[in-house]
A = this chain, B = another copy of it.
Amino acid sequence: MADQLSRVFAALADPTRRDMVARLTVADATVNQLAEPYAVSIQAVSKHLKVLEDAGLVTRSRRAQTRPVHLEAEVFDLMTAWIERYRRQAEERYRRLDAVLAELTDPPPADLPTGRPQKAQPQKGKSS
């Protein structure tokens, strides 16, 4: 599992870990505090924290016997950047598709390919 983006998505794919992250937005917490609401062993929570740490979502320091866990919220940006990029791209594509459909029904001017022959589908009836 190489890249960080994959690790971040994978880390947040678990409801327990998402809940931990959610709680860490309120305040830092020790492992015991984090584990308290869940019906699993402390070790399991420690493992979850390791996943979050490997993804860069949290950091752990040392304070007496405890290891306070701190959320690194900037990593969220990695995801939002990816998501927004392709969401925008998808929306733009839909806009272009609408334009094409409008062209098909309105006056059809000469085609302007952008240099990339886009696998022209002869969409006439549009009946799926």
Q: Mark A residues whose CB is within 8 Å of B.
A: 1-3, 5-7, 9-10, 12-15, 18, 21-22, 24-28, 61, 63, 71, 73, 76, 79-80, 82-84, 86-87, 89-91, 93-94, 118-119, 128
Contacts and interface: CB of A to CB of B under 8 A. Distances in A.
B25 A86 contact: yes
Given A9-B10, A9-B13, A14-B6, A119 B76 contact: no
Contact of A90 (B1, B12, B71, B80): B71
B61 A128 contact: yes
Contacts of A25: 86-87, 89-90, 93
A71 B90 CA distance: 8
Contacts of A91: 73
Nearest to A88: B25
A59 B87 CA distance: 16
A86 B13 contact: no
8 contacts: A10-B13, A25-B93, A26-B89, A73-B86, A73-B94, A76-B87, A80-B80, A80-B83
A83 B87 contact: no
